[in-house]
Amino acid sequence: MTTRAGARTLVGVGVGRRAVIGPVVLVRSPAPAPGDAPVLRDGTPVSAGALPGVVADAFAHVHADLADRAARASGSVANVLTATAQIASDPALIAGVQQKIAEGTAPVAAVHAVVDVFVDMFESAGGLLAERVIDLHSVRDRVIAAVLGLPAPGVPELTVPAVVVARDLAPADTAALDLDKVLAIVTELGGPTSHTAIIAGQLGWPCVVQVAGAGDLPDGATVLVDAQSGTIVVDPDPAAVAAVADRAAAEEILAHDNAPATTADGHGVDLLANIGTVADADLAAARTDARTVAGSGLFRTEVLFLNAQQAPTVEEQRREYAAALAAFGDRKVVVRTLDAGADKPLAFATLPDEENPALGVRGYRVRRVHPHLLSDQLTALADAAGEGGTQPWVMAPMIATVAEARAFAADARAAGIGTVGIMIEVPAAALRARDLLHEVDFVSIGTNDLAQYTMATDRLRGELADLLDPWQPAVLELVAQTARAGRELGKPVGVCGESAADPLMALVLVGLGVTSLSMSSGAVPAVRFALRQHTLEQCQAMARAALGADDPSRARRGVVELLEPRAVQLLS
């Protein structure tokens, strides 16, 4: 894509593939309120004795507003709003602020002081807790506004379709956007797995995060946002504008192509949808059919647990699983058992504090501390399958050893699960994939965590996104070794990480021997198009080119050079 000489270009980490052009609307940070700002009601200062009650009312108001938004949302948007609402109702947070006020601290200063303590705790914990710091800040700003009787901070009203630019966006801000007037989202902070990126992916908005200098863009400036390249071009030239229009027209055609997912020479590949809730399942199933999407390759069951104050009963789980299975009818549904732990804390099963939760008790390892959680879940899944007749494929996350794979398979089969698998997310599992596959029926590669553990890089650190690039040769080598083991044993090997949604990477994965790809349903058309333009032999040549490269950019370039000419414009 060309741009006028001297045109300003900002670079970040792209999430998605689309490119759009539109005016900038800046989301400005809330105006700082002094710590000793007076609390007034009808122009009269509130008495010291009444201040704790005013603060409690403010927290309750923020919680009710966020919970109401969550109830009116669906899928990932509802999940992240619910999580933020829970922060606003946290008894420890509220009590801490009230205690500070009782000791003589002004309300605004008290809110800041207690939230700062929680921020330090979350950042020290790392992982997904660190990602929730923005939620804490959002709750803080909303509570302070409610205490002072000011309008709640947030995104300005959008009067025309626009590119929303912010330092960062809290889930509540993102969910409040007018869906018909958002062209793209650009943030200075965040990462490709941040709440903003997740919601943008669900809603089909191109998104670019980690964009240094984005906050300096002037309101109303025309920008080209290209999620595929991770760039923002200010005042793009006519050629760039025309290229975006051509891409949009081509992708619109793809979205209405119902051809089955095969390579040009007829090699079939299951394209599947990632889901987290029954609402996600209903939406994905309604928008697709068995020819275009073969089912779900990743049902993240932890959503049901993370939003609960006590462990869901077997019956509650059975209803949820049965509804998700019913949504897809006879189509395949791959269910991941509870993937929670110190980085995704459970209100009803608190785990010991860990200095490095990404390397701690998470995923299948939670069974060591709370074995009933897994046994109840397996019972519920078997009951749900018996009710509707659809047999789910069930896999465990964070399996590292043959002994763990053997134990999970035994438990699952004893519960009545017919098709049992595991996630390949750590290098140890990939290196011994052949041995692990002797114990189970299939494996699915979670490329997000596999990249994190292979490259020793926190997947939520946006500034380290280059190390987490799925084209990293070491990561590709582990994927290749896993796929080779599946091929030799005649067992399915899927990919359900972000790699599956990249059409170029999809060609490589199929060339390596991967048999299914699971992604957001909106990413399916481009992946299907890529496969249909190339033979299996061409995919295998692309896989060899990627594996032979010594860095991610060379790996990607090597694949682009092998694309069919008719696919270059849309895929490169």
Q: Cα separation of 131 and 133, whole Å?
A: 6
* Known active-site residue 496: yes
Which one of the listed residues 63, 207, 370, 496 is annotated catalytic? 496
The H or E element spanning position 316 is helix 314-328
Strands (E), 361-503: 393-396, 419-424, 442-445, 493-495
Which one of the listed residues 195, 207, 534, 539 is annotated catalytic? 195
The answer on whether 336 is annotated among ligand-binding residues is: yes
The answer on whether 362 is annotated among ligand-binding residues is: no
* Known active-site residue 195: yes
Residues 146-175, buried b or exposed e (16+ Cβ, 10 A)? Answer: bbbeeebbbbeebeeebbbbbebbbbbbbb
Q: Is-contact 285 279, C-beta < 8 A?
A: no
Other beta carbons less than 10 A from residue 176's beta carbon:
15
Angle between helices 524-532 and 238-255 (to 10 degrees): 90
The answer on whether 132 is annotated among ligand-binding residues is: no
Angle between helices 278-287 and 75-88 (to 10 degrees): 160
Pairing of strands 393-396, 516-519: unpaired
Please count the residues of the chain. 572
Q: Cα separation of 434 and 398, whole Å?
A: 17
Q: Is-contact 434 490, C-beta < 8 A?
A: no
Tabulate helix, strand, coil % of the chain (nearest 5): 50, 15, 35
Q: Cα separation of 212 and 206, whole Å?
A: 17
Q: Is-contact 553 283, C-beta < 8 A?
A: no
Hey, which residues are catalytic here?
Answer: 195, 496
The annotation places the binding site for Mg(2+) at 425, 449
Q: Which residues are annotated as a binding site for phosphoenolpyruvate?
A: 300, 336, 448-449, 459
